[in-house]
Structure 1
Amino acid sequence: MAQKILVVDDETVLLDTISYNLEQAGYQVIRASDGLIALEAARKNSPDLVILDIMLPGIDGLEVCRQLRRERTTATVPIIMLTAKADEIDKVVGLEVGADDYLTKPFGRRELLARIRALLRRADYPIARERDKKLAQEAAAFDDEQTVPKSKNLISGGLLIDQAGHRVNNRGQNIELQPKQFDLLTYLVRNRGTVLTRDQLLHNVWGYDYAGDTRTVDVHIRWLREKLEEDPASPKMIQTVRGVGYVFRG
């Protein structure tokens, strides 16, 4: 079955162009021309990915993104935001509200398809909701001395990362992460105790062809701390090494 992509833009020509290119690439396209229609379409169709323009009539793309992230059925769907502005602040705000990637108009067909494939590839993990109870029980039993088991789970203290199921459990509580947050946490835990620069994280988590900047890393680190740390303002798991980058202490 073709993967479904919701495309949201009020520019008819661009909406038609993106839709045509995606359909030619084998995707099923759902179209929306304003924010309210986009939210309704997302709830009804459960898309695999959303391409979302910032400037929309009704409610703008940033608010649409916020609302999608609050709803259970769309909380982790990959979102690519589009903007006609090249201002860095727009990009940072887009990431703040939950976007996974960002494209500035005009952009090429190949670049768009490459970003889509990368996000869908990272999000394409089997749904394993039936494992939630088991993960909670396992996490509660783990202690600080345990290491990676044969099941390929990553374990550090009370944190358990089920790589196959794309699930995270922290001290008995299941944590819902977006695909990029999951990738970043996994990379940090795999390299626990090693100080990693922002460039290293950007290259190894987002990919060497990613056109973003290191502020993207800082935004995602803050998200992880808010979800995992007892006190995000004084993190113990993901620590900042001033002037260098970040290190996972576990």
Structure 2
Amino acid sequence: MAEEKILVVEDHPLNRELVVAALEARGCTVLEAENGLGLLERVKAERPTLIIMDLQLPGIDGFALTRQLKRDAETRDIPVLAVSAFAGSEDRIMALEVGCAASLTKPLDLLIFLETVARLLQRDLR
């Protein structure tokens, strides 16, 4: 299977570093963004296989960014995995309503995170 290209949108450097390291160790190419500035254009240019989206970003939040991605014909089919430090069911429900394929709570359980990514990519990441 071709190597996956995953875009990680996360404003917290340590959280981003953990996710990037885990994915790269499993053969994925990882792109990074610390906010949503120009994200729609970047996604169109880079064509990631999956987007891991922090819901609480400075400026425009992950909910609004996901709405933009899902409204655009060029990007709507790219799955979005929402991650948030807020464990409330309202955020998880809202993430699914705006078009996220799945939602996880931070701090991430690495095993559950990798299983979710593998399911969304339809690939074994062991």
TM-score, normalised to structure 1, is: 0.47
Match of 1:24 in 2: 25
Secondary structure of the residue that 1:55 maps to in structure 2? Answer: coil
1:78 is displaced (CA, Å) by 0.9
Question: What is the alpha-carbon distance in structure 2 between the residues aligned to residue 114 and residue 88 of structure 1?
Answer: 21
Q: Which has the higher contact order (CA 8 A, sep 6+)?
A: 2
SS in 1 for 2:39: helix
Which residue number in structure 1 is paired with residue 56 of structure 2? 55
Residue equivalent to 2:104: 103
Q: What are the superposed Cα offsets for residues 80-124 of structure 1, whole Å, 9 maximum, x if unpaired?
A: 0011011110011111100010000112222111101111118xx
Q: Structure 1 residue 33 and structure 2 residue 71: aligned?
A: no
**How far apart are residue 7 of structure 1 and its match?**
0.3
Aligned mates of 2:55, 2:13 — CA distance in 1? 15
Q: CA deviation at 1:31?
A: 0.3
Provide the C-alpha distance between the structure 2 equivalents of 1:101 and 1:66, rounded to a whole number of angstroms: 14
Matches within 5 A, 1:143-222: none
Q: Is the 8 A contact 1:30 1:41 kept in 2?
A: no
What's 2:93 paired with?
A: 92
What is the alpha-carbon distance in structure 2 between the residues aligned to residue 66 and residue 47 of structure 1?
17
Residues paired across the two proteins, number? 122
Q: Structure 1: 5+ residue runs without aligned partners?
A: 123-250
CA distance in structure 2 between the aligned counterparts of 1:24 and 1:81, rounded to whole angstroms: 21
Letter in 1 for 2:115: A
TM-score between the two structures when normalised by the length of structure 2: 0.91
- Return the alpha-carbon distance in structure 2 between the equivalents of residues 6 and 41 of structure 1: 10
> C-alpha distance in 2, partners of 1:58/1:35?
8
For the residue of structure 2 that corresponds to 1:102, the secondary structure is strand
Per the alignment, residue 79 of structure 1 pairs with: 80
AA paired with 1:90?
D
The aligned amino acid for 1:8 is: V
1:171-193 CA distance string (max 9 Å, x none):
xxxxxxxxxxxxxxxxxxxxxxx
Q: Structure 2 counterpart of 1:117, which letter?
A: A
Contact 1:46 1:73 in 2 (8 A): no
Describe the superposition over 1:46-94 as per-residue Cα deviations: whole angstroms up to 9, x where unpaired. 1100100001012100000000001122111111001101111001111
Q: CA RMSD in A?
A: 1.3
Shift of 1:43: 1.7
What is the rounded CA distance, in whole Å, between the counterparts of 1:20 and 1:116 in structure 2?
A: 14
1:68 aligns with 2:98: no
1:6-62 deviation per Cα after TM superposition (whole angstroms, max 9, x unaligned): 000000111111111100010000100001243332121011001000010121000
Matched, 1:119 2:110: no
Tell me which stretches of 4 or more aligned residues in structure 1 moved more than 6 Å: none
* Residue in structure 1 matched with residue 16 of structure 2 by the alignment: 15
Match of 1:227 in 2: none
Q: Deviations over 1:118-145 (max 9, x none)?
A: 11118xxxxxxxxxxxxxxxxxxxxxxx
